[in-house]
């Protein structure tokens, strides 16, 4: 087995920190009751998050007569997901995240 020695090698050192972009939003007022409300269920596509949201939806419907609508976030995502939830006139949202 032979080992070759590298000559004339150059390296560039870079800082891998990404530029942070933020957006300020005004949070919605807290609901005084869930009774009869329309709730957005926001699934980001992570494993079994949809199952958790379906379980939550069934419980909310049974206990508070809540209507739910499932929104699935694609990747990459942008503001269109927020726009769809707003257009659906939901009074609140429940989201799942995780790996």
Q: Which two tokens stand for residue 13?
A: 């050192």
Q: Which residue has the tokens 């699934």?
A: 43
- Would you say 36 and 61 are in contact if contact means Cβ atoms under 8 Å apart? no
Q: Tell me how far apart the alpha carbons of residues 97 and 99 are, in angstroms, rounded to a whole number.
A: 7
Percentage of the chain lying above the pLDDT 70 cut: 88
The mean predicted confidence, pLDDT, of the chain is 86
Q: Which two tokens stand for residue 11?
A: 């390296």
SS3 assignment, position 53:
helix
The answer, as to whether pTM is greater than 0.75, is no
Q: Is 53 exposed, middle or buried (0-12, 13-18, 19+ CB in 10 A)?
A: buried
């Amino acid at each position: 087995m032979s080992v070759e020695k590298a000559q004339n090698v150059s390296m560039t050192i870079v800082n891998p920190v990404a530029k942070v972009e933020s957006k300020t939003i005004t949070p919605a007022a807290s609901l005084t009751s869930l009774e009869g409300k329309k709730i957005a269920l926001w699934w980001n596509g992570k494993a079994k998050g949809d199952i958790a949201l379906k379980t939550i939806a069934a419980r909310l419907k049974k206990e508070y007569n809540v209507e739910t609508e499932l929104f699935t976030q694609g990747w990459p995502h942008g503001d269109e997901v927020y726009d769809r939830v707003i257009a659906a006139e939901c009074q609140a949202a429940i989201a799942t995240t995780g790996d």
